Amino acid sequence: MADPAAASGYHDPPPRMGFFTDTSVCIGCKACEVACKEWNAVPDDGLAFTGMSYDNTVGLGADTWRHVAFIEQRRPVPAGADRDGKEGEAEDGLRWLMASDVCKHCTNAACLDVCPTGALFRTEFGTVVVQEDICNGCGYCIPACPYGVIDQRKGDGRAWKCTLCYDRLGAGMTPACAQACPTESIQFGPLDELRQRAAARLDQLHGEGAAEARLYGEDPGDGVGGDGAFFLLLDEPEVYGLPPDPVVTTRDLPSMWRHAAAAATGLMAAAAAAFAAEWLGRRG
Amino acid sequence: MQADGKAWLFAPAGLVDGPLPVHYEPQESPFRNPLYGQQRNPVRQVTGFSHPGNRLQPSGGEPGADVFPYVATTYRLTEHHTAGGMSRWLPYLAELQPEFFCEVSPELAAERDLEYLGWATIVTARAAIEARVLVTERMVTLTVGGRRLHQVGLPYHWGGNGLSPGDSANDLIGLSLDPNVHIQEDKAFACDIRPGRRPRGPARLDLVQEYQRRAGITGQTGMEV
């Protein structure tokens, strides 16, 4: 699907907007988490000390729409070249990865597919948003999300997640997290432009020897048709708690329905045949 | 730093302890000064601060220095503002760093039976405070003069009120001021660390006084030029 907004029935929609989160420059300040909660009036969700490095947020949820992960890795660190250009021996070192996670605003969004009320909808910017005044709290979207992003708020029952600041986008503004990010780790813009920028940044990092740098969610050919919010990672996605090969959970739904329909038709035909045989037998 | 944005190594005027930089050990150090016979900055401000609540500790080479075998350092976290008096009251900030903690290396945790996510008590000649234990390889054990030296990392944003109350790392610090900017030495000082929560009530003061006795600390300790 080239443009999910056009496919959803918008005539001449604006360019698809998204996030490119370049984790290689994230400094772990959590300004994105605070700015998100301030703008969207998301409640705090508990004063729990986790001891997971500096991450006391743990993951995305109904009350956390941006989450900064902190990962401490013991690995060899290149010593760098000396004055004669000779590379030094790699030393045992420690690497501290930080990465700000968010709703991926999938091209093929399963949460949207399964929502029975129409509370979840595709915006003209190609993003996926829950309307809080329509959501009835059925919770179908929660197991449908291949990333485990959308979540039910306790004591409220409705489903909540990142709106990519739909209210700000409508006024031509940048989402709160991207606005607050001091290192431009979170970049906001037309998705086409972000993909070009990400490819250039990846080339630069590979050129500087960061062979493990990779993009995550930028490929329109992946299991969710590409993410509206994609990432540059410095290691395997699993290291950051991201699924390595997400697939839209409604992918097999049409084929499942076709199989169920074929089975139902077959059963009805068999029953009809049994009655017909009985009737013919009696006549005979 | 000068008006042109450059720093001077040779500062002919303006510094009480100029004109050239030299190395002195901190007020409280487990080691003797490896460069000079002069252990501490002779013009640091300690005179007049002799008070039962501000006892200073013996340094490397002096008897009793081994009672405080580790070094502690205090620092900020991005989530809180200065001593935390404002940010501890804000839910969006307090939830990001919700409890006072100390950071120790796996080696120190093993040496002192400190349990990950458990409690530790950090003691100096001024106070005993408690903190949750965060064991991390980021706290590097140093080798100084052939001896393994463990560091204890202490963010200083906590105090007795707010949504996220906790003991204050600043309570550990003695008053020995830099002669130019008059800031106390809270980046490097000697301490001890032990497993479990600190005693409550008068027993807390008893613990501190027991450490003072063991180290032979008097009102004159650490005051010498």
pLDDT tens column, B112-148? 999 999 999 999 999 999 999 999 999 999 999 899 9
Inter-CA distances, B1 with A209, B81, B128, B174, Å: 36, 25, 37, 27
Is B98 part of the contact surface with chain A (CB cutoff 8 Å)? yes
| Per-residue model confidence (pLDDT) at position A127 | 97
The tokens describing A195, both together, are 């993909």
CATH number of A4-251: 3.30.70.20
Reported ipTM: 0.90
Is B138 part of the contact surface with chain A (CB cutoff 8 Å)? yes
Which pLDDT band holds residue A88 (cuts at 50, 70, 90)?
Answer: low
> What are the sequence ranges of the domains in chain A?
4-251, 252-284
> What are the sequence ranges of the domains in chain B?
52-214
The tokens describing B74, both together, are 């205090």
Task: Tell me yes or no: is domain B52-214 CATH 1.10.3720.10.
Answer: no
Q: Cα-atom radius of gyration of chain A, to the nearest Å?
A: 24
- How far apart are the C-alpha atoms of A250 and A45, rounded to whole Å? 30
CB contact under 8 A, A94 and B95: no
- How far apart are the C-alpha atoms of A229 and A217, rounded to whole Å? 7
Which pLDDT band holds residue B49 (cuts at 50, 70, 90)?
Answer: confident
Asked which of A72-76, A132-136, B42-46, B218-222 is least confident by mean pLDDT, the reply is A72-76
A81 SS3 class: strand
- How far apart are the C-alpha atoms of A54 and A99, rounded to whole Å? 12
The tokens describing A126, both together, are 């190609």
A44: distance to nearest CA of chain B, Å? 6
Which pLDDT band holds residue A192 (cuts at 50, 70, 90)?
Answer: very high
CB contact under 8 A, A51 and B116: yes
Which pLDDT band holds residue B50 (cuts at 50, 70, 90)?
Answer: confident
Which pLDDT band holds residue B225 (cuts at 50, 70, 90)?
Answer: confident
Helix (H) or strand (E) holding A272: helix A253-283
| Per-residue model confidence (pLDDT) at position B60 | 86
Is B115 part of the contact surface with chain A (CB cutoff 8 Å)? no
Is A46 part of the contact surface with chain B (CB cutoff 8 Å)? yes
Length of chain B: 225
Contact B198, B207 (CB under 8 A): yes
| Per-residue model confidence (pLDDT) at position B103 | 98
B77: distance to nearest CA of chain A, Å? 9
| Per-residue model confidence (pLDDT) at position B2 | 76
| Per-residue model confidence (pLDDT) at position A50 | 96
Which pLDDT band holds residue B1 (cuts at 50, 70, 90)?
Answer: low
| Per-residue model confidence (pLDDT) at position B14 | 85
Which pLDDT band holds residue A80 (cuts at 50, 70, 90)?
Answer: low
B134 SS3 class: strand
Average pLDDT, chain A: 93
- How far apart are the C-alpha atoms of B5 and B128, rounded to whole Å? 42
B58: distance to nearest CA of chain A, Å? 34
B109: distance to nearest CA of chain A, Å? 14
From chain B, the residues in CB contact with A33 under 8 A are 92, 96
Residues 62-121 of A with CB under 8 A from B: 72, 74, 94, 96
pLDDT in tens, A240-269: 999 999 999 988 888 999 999 999 999 999
From chain A, the residues in CB contact with B79 under 8 A are 30
